[in-house]
């Protein structure tokens, strides 16, 4: 697939820029750190993507219980912004919100709308784990995973329309095909990512977390703990469904870190994280789940 191989091809081109950046930030960045670009068929601009994401976010927030706790939301949003600023798409207007449910999960919508379940905030051990998860979700946005998908579907829709206009398909055939290939596109919440997309979001997320000053063992430790739940139905089921194969992903990230060790002295935890956790504990329990992503 284009987006998974292109950074290998761009390795040479990127070398100069990244070496300069490494010098500026003092981080030992690898020359082939993934830096994805839009798929060639994805012609949506950032503005269009953000508008689409905003629409999807409005729909999502009608369906899900968003936790309205200004201090907690401010903490998660602040951490998210700090990470997003160091991502490969810092120009997007990111937002980070908490969903008031115990299921351990997180997801992102195109344009930078990121949601973290209350259950995940309770599951992570420290701030670097949370930063790693947020960075992973940002990684899906950075790599255009959902938007490339939307672009593909929209191409199919346009193709269908042309066929219908040319009289090559009738209305019923058109409707059937739309159902199969096109149709409503704002189903991002249930979007299942492929193995390649997960690895790409992990790799992007890990480097993003390092750039933001966080210990990459945060994401690794989180995934390692998650892998203990594989095959064991539990609260983390949703997360495993949307983000499969944590065991393999841990191996890949550890191998990467062996080859390209992260600088020492990166942040593991913070007082703000501990304070947020105490505040979380003091809240009334989450409402019983209805339909969860």
Which residues make up the interface to Zn ion (CB under 5 A)? 201, 243
Smallest gap, in angstroms, from Cβ of residue 136 to Zn ion? 6
Residue 258 CA from chain centroid, whole number: 24
* CB nearer to Zn ion: pick between 135 and 177: 135
* CB nearer to Zn ion: pick between 3 and 277: 3
* CB nearer to Zn ion: pick between 83 and 201: 201
What are the b/e assignments for 122-137, b being 16+ CB within 10 Å? ebbebbbbbbbbbbbb
* CB nearer to Zn ion: pick between 92 and 160: 92
* CB nearer to Zn ion: pick between 76 and 201: 201
* CB nearer to Zn ion: pick between 133 and 160: 133
* CB nearer to Zn ion: pick between 52 and 204: 204
Helix (H) or strand (E) holding 259: helix 246-259
- Starting at the earlier edge strand, list the strands of the sheet with 95-99: 95-99, 113-117, 106-109
**Are 159 and 209 contacting, i.e. CB atoms less than 8 angstroms apart?**
no
Smallest gap, in angstroms, from Cβ of residue 132 to Zn ion? 12
Smallest gap, in angstroms, from Cβ of residue 26 to Zn ion? 29
Smallest gap, in angstroms, from Cβ of residue 235 to Zn ion? 18
Give the nearest residue (CB) to Zn ion. Answer: 243
Which class for 2: exposed (0-12), middle (13-18), buried (19 or more C-beta within 10 A)?
Answer: middle
Smallest gap, in angstroms, from Cβ of residue 115 to Zn ion? 13
Smallest gap, in angstroms, from Cβ of residue 68 to Zn ion? 26
Longest dimension (CA), the chain: 66
Residue by residue, DSSP assigns 1-52 as -HHHHHHHHTHHHHHHHHHHHHHHH-----TT-------TT----HHHHHHH
Which class for 103: exposed (0-12), middle (13-18), buried (19 or more C-beta within 10 A)?
Answer: buried
> CA triplet 197, 198, 203: central angle to 5 degrees?
100
114 vs 92: CA distance, rounded Å: 12
Smallest gap, in angstroms, from Cβ of residue 219 to Zn ion? 11
């Amino acid at each position: 697939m284009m987006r998974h191989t292109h950074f290998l091809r761009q390795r040479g081109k990127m070398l100069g820029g990244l070496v300069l950046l490494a010098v500026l930030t003092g981080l030992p960045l690898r020359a082939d750190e993934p830096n994805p670009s839009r798929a060639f068929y994805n012609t949506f601009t950032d503005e269009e993507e953000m508008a689409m994401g905003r629409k999807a976010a409005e729909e999502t927030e009608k369906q899900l219980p968003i936790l309205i706790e200004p201090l907690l939301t401010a903490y998660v949003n602040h951490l998210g912004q700090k990470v997003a600023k160091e991502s490969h798409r810092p120009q997007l207007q990111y937002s980070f919100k908490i969903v008031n449910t115990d299921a351990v999960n997180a997801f992102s919508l195109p344009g930078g709308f990121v949601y973290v379940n209350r259950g995940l905030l309770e599951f992570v051990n420290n701030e670097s784990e949370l930063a790693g998860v947020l960075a992973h979700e940002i990684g899906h946005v950075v790599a255009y995973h959902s938007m490339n998908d939307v672009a593909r579907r929209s191409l199919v829709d346009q193709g269908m329309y042309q066929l219908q206009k040319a009289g090559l398909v009738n209305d019923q055939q058109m409707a059937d095909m739309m159902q199969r290939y096109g149709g409503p596109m704002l189903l991002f919440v249930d979007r299942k990512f492929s193995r390649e997309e997960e690895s790409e979001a992990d790799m992007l997320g890990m480097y993003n977390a390092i750039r933001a000053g966080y210990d990459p063992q945060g994401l690794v430790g989180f995934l390692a703990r998650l892998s203990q739940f594989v095959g064991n139905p539990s609260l983390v089921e949703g997360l495993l469904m949307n983000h499969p194969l944590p065991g393999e992903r841990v191996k890949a990230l550890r191998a990467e870190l062996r080859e390209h060790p992260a600088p020492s002295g990166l942040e593991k935890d913070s007082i703000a994280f501990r304070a947020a956790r105490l505040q979380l504990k003091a809240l009334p329990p989450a409402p019983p789940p209805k339909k969860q992503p």
